[in-house]
Structure 1
Amino acid sequence: MKFFSVRKHALLWARLFTAGLFLVLLFFVFRKYENGLYTDPVLSLRINEVCTISPGTTEGDSVTYEDYIELYNPTSQAVSLEGLYLSDDAGDPLQAALPEGEIEPGGYYIIYAAGEGDSAPEGTPSVAFGLSEEEVIMLTWVCELEDGTESAHTIDSVYVPASISPGAVYAATEDGGDSYGQLSPSPGLSNASASAILEDPVFLTPGGFYEDSVEVTLTAAEGLSIRYTLDGSEPTEDSPLYTEPLILTDPSSSPNVWSALENITTSDRNYEIPDTPVDKAAVVRAAAFDGEGNRSGTVTCTYFIDFDEKEGYENAAVLSLVTDPENLFSQEEGIYVRGSLYEEALEAGLIYEGLSWIELMDYTHYYLEGMSSERPAHLELYSVYGDALLNQSCGIRIRGNESRSFPQKSFTLYSRKRYEKESFDPVLFDTGISYDSLILNNSKTPKKVFFFSLVEDREAAVQEYIPCQVFLNGEYWGMYYLMERYSSEYLEGRYDASPEESTLIKDTRYVADGVEEEIESYRALRDYLDREDLDDPEVYEGLLEQMDMQSFIDWMCVNIYIANTDNKPLENNVYTWKSDGSTETALPENMEYSDGKWRWMLYDLDDSLAAGTVYADSGAWSMDSFTEHAVYASSGYLDDKPMPALMKNADFRRQFVLTFLDMANENFRPDRVLALLDEIEEQYSSWAELSWERWNTNLQDQTFSEQVEELRLFFENRFDSIIPCLAEHFGLTGELVTLSLSAENGGAVSLNTLDLDLMDGSWQGRYYTDYPVTLTAQETDGAAFDHWEIEGGSIIEGSQDSASIQVRLEEDTTVRAVYTES
């Protein structure tokens, strides 16, 4: 008897069903191959190279620094870009469609990842997203099937890892291959032509200050050799081979090299090179090589040897700036010299010796601007205690206007990811700000930075600074001021202004940082300030919704008081800014700055103390800078826009007069100013004298002490000279009287725009009786305000017990705020 197996029978039918299903699927796959879906050469395209830190690629006659993606076509057929998409977002693989075109057989295709707000070179393909590390880049193809439906296929994807070295790209080690690594960029070329980026060597002996000598030890990965230089140049395979620790001693007695160059300015400056060796530091630059044409990045350290025995460095911050000498001093590429532009123009008869700096701007390398004038460098900053504050690579440009033609030039320092970091470490000025750029300003005059220190409490922004002794490629280059640079980072750090919603405008003409479209908002403000009816309260109220009037008035009062002759509130040497939103972590006191109003920033105060006028050489304090002006200017402050229109408004005039008197009585109070001058003279004098000697072999500049004395004389006499001018121009007819303030049992009092701490005594200032003053008793710990006691004046708003009052000054007036213990 045969038994029927149910289990075997079921398995047989299951196998037959599976085989049938396979044949059906095979049929459909065959049909799709027959229709070209899986045989189309587009499926062979590969992401060949991803650049997240562009060191610069050449497009036509220019260089662009946008990141890019390179596609490679390994087939023998041209491949259309139709239906292709790139994305860095797995949730949106169709993020950016590629433009019309095709990739030639065996060809390479560059797509710039410009990101929002950035711009790819004109006429080049781009996608509107940026690139970063630790993300996946996807290439997707969308095609239409026979039935009219669309089908999306991921052709290729590449994960970009973290820690891509500056100057490297993440690329297929063989064109179209599956193995990726860090290579040198080769956009539009085979990756076979790209060298590998090796691991950097390491200094085991840190840069800094040493006595007698220093033994410098380096190490590199196994199998690599180290080559080094001592002149600031980039190491090559022909540079000296490092085989044992370097023994370095003080090189200061060696002949000057960069300090011996005369082509850093023109003959009309009457510059003479130093006639003795300048102080020097030892600079070591090193790179690793593998003998197969591959190299690492360059590492740099600066060693200051026996500086305890040298004058001019005690308690000084010291900064070393190192770059390949070709970047600064070569005739063709150098940005610190007159260069080939000058020599060729001279030979062609386009220029001649003796022309002024302004006539030579188009013919000297140090007047080159923009990204093409930026050079890579390495920065080390040591604090007054000798510890390293900054040690990183950056970009440098020459900055300024006339000062570019000075022998001691100023620099702008840029921290960019392609050099090493997106920003400088937040260790400067006690602000906690990670700046993307800084200013290294020459110390020809202390006026610019000193005035900032006088008005830090005002509503017009100022720049913090650090005086430092600078070495350029190891040679002493003088005293400089390392300064903040106005930027979105500055606004975020100072005012909690959201970078996405803030705008910074320079010289009223262009957006220096932030939202480009807001230039229209600024132009609307300028147009509004042109109105003839600002005396109308409603019109003036509309103006106050667009600008912070206190910020504007503070800016005006500073420039007028210091007799600055090269700034205009709606023209040159001025920054303005606004913010329409604050950061999530904004402090309560900073919330007001997100109100969308335009505010003013103090900038470039070099031409103060009546520069360019008959008062400059004697009696600068007597200049009526309300209306008088330099020979190169067409008008004074009151005759420049927007002052003629604003002066029609009584509220504006009152606010201006009281603010001017507040600042004259407190910010520019002679005893306060002179105390600060004494302080900086004691601290800076030895540094400044060394710098003056470095740049004045042929005597031309005032010494630091002479400039400090000039400032002393100016502020000792300025109040008595400029205050009558204020009265004349603003039609004040009242008496100038003395206001004395004090607080019983301690306390703080606000006077108009001033916050005065009266805990340690009384305060005096002089005010015209035309306008009442506003007094507010501030809350203090341990004391409660009780009442006011007033002699010589009367309360016209509030009462004796009110914390805030307005007082009419009728004669010399004494006001005492009485507090009781709480």
Structure 2
Amino acid sequence: MHNATGNSSDMTGNFFLSAGIASTTYNYQGLPQWIIPPMVLPHADFKLSRGETVIISDTSENIIDSAYISSAIKNTISRGRTPDGVGAWCLFNSPTPNASNNQSTCYTGVVPAPQINLASGWYSAANPVTVVTAQNATSHYTTNGDVPDQLDNVVNGTIYINESSVLSVRSFDNNGTALPSPTVDRTYIINENSHDLPVVSIITDEDHLWNWYTGIYVMGPNASTSYPYFGSNFWQPWSRKSRMEFFDGTQTKQFEAEFDLEIHGGWSRAEPQKSFRVDAKSIYTGEIKHTLIKRKPHITSYNNFNLRNGGQHGLSDRLQDAIMSRLAQGTEIDRMGYQPCIVYLNGSYWGLYGIREKLDEHYVESNHGVPSDEVQLINRDGSLVGSPAHFSESYDIIMNTSTSSDNFLEVFSSRFDIYNYIDYFVFQTYIQNRDWLGIDWGLNNVKLWRQDTLDATWRYMMYDTDFAFGLYGGNIYQNYIDRARNPTSPNDHSELFDHVLENDDFMCRFTNRYNDLINTTFQTANFNATTDELKAELAPAIPDHISNWSSQMGPYSFTSWSNAVNSIKSYNASRISTARQHINQSFSLYGQRDIDLDAYPEDAGVIKLNSIIPELPWEGVYHGGCPITAKATPNFGYVFSHWTSNNGNYQNEEEDSIQVLMNINTELTANFDSCSAVIDVDIVADGNLLRSEISEEVSGVFYNWSLDGTNISEDSVLYNPTNGNYTLTVRFDSCEIATEIFTVARESYSLLLFPNPAIDQLHVQFILGEQNDINLSIYSTSGQKVWQNNRTDFIGQFNEIIDISTLARGAYILRVETPTKDYTERFIRI
């Protein structure tokens, strides 16, 4: 493979291994033995779950055989008959598909799990533990994480737990006719503090971790002698079945689980304290049903998660990636949640970790509601889930669309979520992430997803920001906008970024959003508050972590840790000014411009500036050459009036949304008026009804009528009002205005019936100002009651239609009776 031209930068390739016959004259007469012929394997198109019954019946639905799937049956256990098909039901410790059961040991059941009297948890001193074992069984135990076998210690009396450890107990049938019980684990923490953090107790066989040839935590026989020791066991994609107990911040056990344990991370694998990946599989106990990350309480089920050691910052602050993720919470970036915790490994304190989401199809389902089987997910190497074809097609379409075309942004937005795209590239370039986009070495830490539907767009995911903010030689003066456009290792992502920035509209949207985030998210007050919040969560637990690890790796003291966290804040404080300079340099803008925003009167309204709504009065910095957008929104009780500014570069001062050219330092004030000062609302009598009259044209009006202080109707008009004092309150937009009292004083009162004469329906209207039971009746002229309806505790405007289609043609009287008054009105049915 080679560059096709001097301008070609795409060195990706798809490689295939093929085998064939060199001779053009020879053909196989039949399939060779090394080719597997097409075949159909018999199988059922359903699954069985514990607690269900499988039934075999004939064509007449007569039951031939059946079997109940007990909850005691694990995924490694099968059930069948021996001798084949005719003997008693048995359990087998390994399945025998397509083979006879006759050679398998028939087990009659599973030994009940042993009962341990002392619950997992924290204790201040050594504790005796007793175990209750089922009859005709013997329990064996370990304290090193191993699943007990019959060669391990026999439970014979009391077990004493003198230090933090795990106790694993399993019972075995004395006669060998039943399968061993499940392993029961207990975690005992003696004289140690969890510092109000969740605790993850990982329990796994010692060989899974420390065996020189198969252990996932050790270097092993094939390790390189130089850092990061490629070839080590911990670089292998190995997983080992393990168990877990999880405790919340109150030291209360929340769940236990079986899972696959892997080593996680990049070069941080080479550190003494390594990251873990927890993969909860259906072949074990299935998904973990618990809220692991407090800031994402809506996620209550996890297919997997990572226990991160802090990455390349594990030796210093341990927090940088968590800080960046927390800051990105207010953006459109997909990022991992973070929850600090303490890990115990086979009962040994293993230090501070961060519970982090894994950015995969299950993350998308949990955070966006997209079914995991509808997700397309790609990274630097290609497809992780689904097909990468849409991304490749998107690249070709956008790169072949002129950035000066009127529909360029429309084309781009049809392929990429533009809000996510801008936020992602603003964030990564501001924090100067070296280990990303091929900046200083090959393409790395790039991942994006879309739903596999026609109109879905790509969204980028941010992770692994350890190499940001000057780690290993970076500095605030490096222009990462330019470096991302032309990195050391160009790639599709950098080429798209460079291309889209050639469009002036996109460039200004990017510039304004960049300034929005500098003016808010990255401002020192906000940045420091977020950092200090995360720091405070870890601070009480840091001394224990240092005591455990400082002989092998940093941080080496509480002071050095605290200084490392503070250095992140210091770097950000210095980065703000150079980031603004780089915006100006990269896009040849007209320099930085200050803007002062305010509202008059105070607290009368808010201003949305581009994408942010700052607390007024407010100061910020933008750039000349890109107009900013300001939109005024009144608070309750006010309406927008006009803008005032020293900068006249906007079109209409009375429009609530304007664009302002930032050619000078700008002061901009949104002026508001109280609703009652500019809008009049009156009650008007119009024939036999009351209605409102509003001095300004408004929409979306809500009405509330009251009679003598009692709310009676939310209709726009009142029909046939009774005598009394009326007020009307109207609500629209941010206004609520009440009228003066309007008094109705009539000499007489009558019901309003229409149409009259009526054919099939009679509209009845009247008002009751006091809550009463009412009885509505219709009488013929001979005095016979022909219709009746009752209402209890009625008040307000009665405005309903009565069906009179069953009445004979003629004259009738409608009567409304209350405990204090009667009203009647004559009508004719034709």
TM over 0.5: yes
Cα 1:287–1:435, aligned 2, differ >3 Å: closer, same or farther?
A: same
Give the letter aligned to residue 523 of structure 1. Answer: S
* Matches for 1:3-402 after TM superposition, within 5 Å: 125=41, 127=43, 129=45, 131-133=47-49, 161=69, 163=71, 165-174=73-82, 175-177=84-86, 179-180=88-89, 182-188=91-97, 190-191=100-101, 192-193=104-105, 196-249=109-162, 251=163, 281-293=164-176, 294-308=179-193, 313-342=194-223, 353=225, 355-357=226-228, 360-361=229-230, 363-369=231-237, 373-402=238-267
Which residue of 2 is the match for residue 82 of structure 1?
none
| Partners of 2:407 and 2:242 in 1: CA distance | 55
What do residues 52-89 of structure 1 show as CA deviations (whole Å, max 9, x unaligned)? xxxxxxxxxxxxxxxxxxxxxxxxxxxxxxxxxxxxxx
- CA offset at residue 364 of structure 1? 1.3
| Partners of 1:697 and 1:661 in 2: CA distance | 44
Which residue of 1 is the match for residue 281 of structure 2?
416
Which residue of 1 is the match for residue 566 of structure 2?
709
Cα 1:140–1:442, aligned 2, differ >3 Å: closer, same or farther?
A: same
What do residues 676-716 of structure 1 show as CA deviations (whole Å, max 9, x unaligned)? 22333333123234323433315655742132122021111
8 Å contact from structure 2 (residues 340, 537) kept in 1: no
SS at match of 2:171: strand
- Larger Rg over CA atoms: 2
Which residue of 2 is the match for residue 524 of structure 1?
393
Which residue of 1 is the match for residue 469 of structure 2?
609
Give the letter aligned to residue 790 of structure 1. Answer: T
| Partners of 1:669 and 1:129 in 2: CA distance | 58
| Partners of 2:506 and 2:202 in 1: CA distance | 48
Residue 526 (structure 2) pairs with residue 676 (structure 1): no
| Partners of 1:639 and 1:221 in 2: CA distance | 63
Cα 1:182–1:426, aligned 2, differ >3 Å: closer, same or farther?
A: farther
SS at match of 1:341: coil
What do residues 597-624 of structure 1 show as CA deviations (whole Å, max 9, x unaligned)? 11111111111113344x3xxxx32322
Of residues 402-411 and 321-330 in structure 1, the stretch that sits farther from structure 2 once superposed is 402-411
Cα 1:224–1:718, aligned 2, differ >3 Å: closer, same or farther?
A: same
SS at match of 1:456: helix
Residue 721 (structure 2) pairs with residue 808 (structure 1): no
Cα 1:812–1:755, aligned 2, differ >3 Å: closer, same or farther?
A: closer
| Partners of 2:113 and 2:208 in 1: CA distance | 22
Which residue of 1 is the match for residue 420 of structure 2?
551
8 Å contact from structure 1 (residues 203, 218) kept in 2: yes
| Partners of 2:492 and 2:149 in 1: CA distance | 61
8 Å contact from structure 1 (residues 389, 427) kept in 2: no
Which residue of 2 is the match for residue 621 of structure 1?
476
Which residue of 1 is the match for residue 755 of structure 2?
none
Which residue of 1 is the match for residue 378 of structure 2?
505
| Partners of 1:131 and 1:687 in 2: CA distance | 46
Cα 1:547–1:774, aligned 2, differ >3 Å: closer, same or farther?
A: same
Cα 1:712–1:426, aligned 2, differ >3 Å: closer, same or farther?
A: closer
Which residue of 1 is the match for residue 330 of structure 2?
457
| Partners of 1:482 and 1:121 in 2: CA distance | 47
* More relative contact order, 1 or 2 (CA 8 Å, 6+ apart): 1
What do residues 160-217 of structure 1 show as CA deviations (whole Å, max 9, x unaligned)? 6363543443411423246445542233565423655433334343211122233434
Cα 1:508–1:396, aligned 2, differ >3 Å: closer, same or farther?
A: same
Which residue of 1 is the match for residue 640 of structure 2?
786
| Partners of 2:633 and 2:254 in 1: CA distance | 39
Give the letter aligned to residue 365 of structure 1. Answer: N
Cα 1:239–1:638, aligned 2, differ >3 Å: closer, same or farther?
A: closer
Identical pairs, percent: 21
* Matches for 1:720-759 after TM superposition, within 5 Å: 720-742=577-599, 744-745=602-603, 747-756=605-614, 758=615
8 Å contact from structure 1 (residues 727, 733) kept in 2: yes
Which residue of 2 is the match for residue 267 of structure 1?
none
- CA offset at residue 367 of structure 1? 0.9
Give the letter aligned to residue 410 of structure 1. Answer: S
8 Å contact from structure 2 (residues 343, 351) kept in 1: yes
| Partners of 2:67 and 2:646 in 1: CA distance | 78
More helix by share: 1
What do residues 734-786 of structure 1 show as CA deviations (whole Å, max 9, x unaligned)? 44223334573365543222244x3xx53322111322222334576x45543
Which residue of 2 is the match for residue 52 of structure 1?
none
| Partners of 1:156 and 1:746 in 2: CA distance | 80
- CA offset at residue 648 of structure 1? 1.7
Residue 641 (structure 2) pairs with residue 768 (structure 1): no
Cα 1:237–1:778, aligned 2, differ >3 Å: closer, same or farther?
A: farther
- CA offset at residue 422 of structure 1? 3.0
* Matches for 1:623-638 after TM superposition, within 5 Å: 623-628=478-483, 634=488
SS at match of 2:450: strand
What do residues 505-559 of structure 1 show as CA deviations (whole Å, max 9, x unaligned)? 23361124xxx2x421122123334336233223442221111112111111111
TM-score for the superposition, normalised by structure 1? 0.69
Cα 1:785–1:687, aligned 2, differ >3 Å: closer, same or farther?
A: farther
8 Å contact from structure 1 (residues 186, 193) kept in 2: no
8 Å contact from structure 1 (residues 283, 302) kept in 2: yes
Give the letter aligned to residue 661 of structure 2. Answer: R
| Partners of 2:293 and 2:106 in 1: CA distance | 39
Of residues 373-382 and 735-744 in structure 1, the stretch that sits farther from structure 2 once superposed is 735-744
| Partners of 1:157 and 1:796 in 2: CA distance | 84
- CA offset at residue 220 of structure 1? 4.1
| Partners of 2:144 and 2:247 in 1: CA distance | 21
1:446 corresponds to which of 295, 319, 337 = 319
Which residue of 2 is the match for residue 643 of structure 1?
497
| Partners of 1:564 and 1:574 in 2: CA distance | 12
SS at match of 1:366: helix
Give the letter aligned to residue 617 of structure 2. Answer: S
| Partners of 2:261 and 2:367 in 1: CA distance | 25
Cα 1:698–1:419, aligned 2, differ >3 Å: closer, same or farther?
A: closer
TM-score for the superposition, normalised by structure 2? 0.68
8 Å contact from structure 1 (residues 638, 644) kept in 2: no
8 Å contact from structure 1 (residues 739, 814) kept in 2: yes
Cα 1:556–1:201, aligned 2, differ >3 Å: closer, same or farther?
A: same
Residue 528 (structure 2) pairs with residue 661 (structure 1): no
| Partners of 2:510 and 2:594 in 1: CA distance | 18
8 Å contact from structure 1 (residues 379, 392) kept in 2: yes
Which residue of 1 is the match for residue 803 of structure 2?
none
- CA offset at residue 368 of structure 1? 0.9
Which residue of 2 is the match for residue 574 of structure 1?
446
| Partners of 2:673 and 2:210 in 1: CA distance | 67
8 Å contact from structure 2 (residues 272, 552) kept in 1: no
8 Å contact from structure 2 (residues 644, 653) kept in 1: no
- The total of aligned residue pairs comes to 618
| Partners of 1:612 and 1:690 in 2: CA distance | 27
| Partners of 2:118 and 2:599 in 1: CA distance | 59
Give the letter aligned to residue 198 of structure 1. Answer: V
What do residues 131-172 of structure 1 show as CA deviations (whole Å, max 9, x unaligned)? 23166768899xxxxxxxxx9999987556363543443411
8 Å contact from structure 2 (residues 219, 233) kept in 1: yes
| Partners of 2:581 and 2:492 in 1: CA distance | 15
- CA offset at residue 405 of structure 1? 1.6
